[in-house]
Structure 1
C-alpha cells in the first residue's frame, strides 16, 4: 500500500486505535522550550499528523507554525479540530523521504516519523530535506522507538535508534545536544520505550 494510503486508513480508524496518541505532548513542549525556541521563529512539526502539539504551541503564542505529513486525511482532521485557528498554520502534504522544503526552519520537530524510514535511501531523502529545511543554529528534535522499544508500529516495521547512533546517521552539520528516554503509555494501556534526540545545527 502507498504510504499515504496506509496513514489515511490508520488515522480514519480513530484516536483510540493510535498507539502514539497523546492528549498533552508534554515531552515535546519541554524540549522545545529547553531548545530556546523563539515563538516568532519558524517551527516545523514533521510528520505531525493529528498531533495536539500544534494546538499547544498556538496556545503558547507561537505564530509561525508548519505541519507536514504524508496523510491528507490526517491534516484534514487537524484542521477540522482547530477550526478557525487552523488558518494560523501552514499545512503541507509531503512524503518526508522525498520532500523539498519550501523554506528553512529554526526548529524541526519529529515525533515518530523518521523511525518508519527503514531503508537507507529513504533515510537519505529525509536527511537531505532536514539539511535543506533548517537554518543555522536550528534545533532538531527527533523521537522514535528506543533500541529496547517495539519492532513494529501501526502494522509497519520501524528502525529503532539510540540517540548517539541517530546523531551519527544524521551527520554534520548537526551535533548531539541532548538525549533522554521516555516510557509512553498508549491509549490501550501498553508501554512503548521512546528515545528523544536533540541536535543543533552548526553555522
Structure 2
C-alpha cells in the first residue's frame, strides 16, 4: 500500500492545534537571524517550504518583507496560517502541493525549509526536491535549510526521517550550492522534549563564476 503523505499531514493538523505539534515555535529566532543575515531586500521573493501553520511568515510580514510565499502539502495547515494572518494573507502566495511536485511559476531569491527535507527518506523524492529547488531558486539566491542533526531524533510525527551533517546535505544538493554558514539549535517541543537541529545557509553559485 502506497503511503499517502497528504492524508497523513491533513490528519495531523485536524487532530492537533498548531500550538501542540512538536515543531511549533513561538518565535522562529534562528530562521529570522539567518534570513536577516542574507541581506535579501524586503521586496525580493521569499518562499517558506513546508511553512504550513508556522509563524515565520507573520514575523517576516512585520519586518516589512512584501513578496512572500508559503508552501505546504496540507490544506489544513495553510488554512490555519491564512486565518491567523487575516488581511495580510491576501498579500502572500499560497501553494498547496507536495514539494517533490512543485514547479515554481517564478524564481525566488530565498528558499527557507525548516524540517521538510529530512522527511524525504526515498532517494527519488530527494532528487525531485533538489530539482524543484533548482528550478525555483535564482542564481545567487539563498538556501536556508534545517534538519535533524546526527544524534537527533530518528522519527517525527510517527515517520522516519534522515539525519544530516554538512557532508551528507552537501552531497544531496550537489555542486551548484556553496555552504556559507552552519548553526545548531536544540528545539524544545511543546511536550518539553529536546530535538537537535542543524541549520545550513547555502548560496546557489552564480553561473559563470568560480566557487
Q: Calculate the TM-score normalised by the size of structure 2.
A: 0.94
**Would you say the 8 A contact 1:115–1:145 is kept in 2?**
yes
Distance in 2, Cα, partners of 1:183 & 1:48: 19
Q: How does 1:152-191 map to 2 (within 5 A)?
A: 152-191=155-194
Query: Could you say what secondary structure the match of 1:115 adopts?
Result: helix
Please name the residue that 1:30 is paired with.
Answer: 33
The alignment of Structure 1 onto Structure 2 pairs a total of residues equal to 203
Q: How does 1:43-192 map to 2 (within 5 A)?
A: 43-192=46-195
1:15 deviates by 2.7
Distance in 2, Cα, partners of 1:22 & 1:194: 13
Encode CA deviations 1:134-153: one digit per residue, 9 max, x unaligned: 11110100001001100000
Encode CA deviations 1:180-200: one digit per residue, 9 max, x unaligned: 211001011110000111110
1:5 deviates by 1.1
Distance in 2, Cα, partners of 1:122 & 1:198: 21
Q: Calculate the TM-score normalised by the size of structure 1.
A: 0.97
CA RMSD in angstroms comes to 0.9
Structure 2 runs not aligned, ≥5 long: 207-211
Query: Could you say what secondary structure the match of 1:15 adopts?
Result: coil
Distance in 1, Cα, partners of 2:19 & 2:91: 27
1:16 deviates by 4.2
Structure 1 runs not aligned, ≥5 long: none
**Would you say the 8 A contact 1:39–1:61 is kept in 2?**
yes
Encode CA deviations 1:113-144: one digit per residue, 9 max, x unaligned: 01000110000000000000011110100001
Distance in 2, Cα, partners of 1:33 & 1:105: 16
Distance in 2, Cα, partners of 1:123 & 1:14: 29
Distance in 1, Cα, partners of 2:117 & 2:71: 13
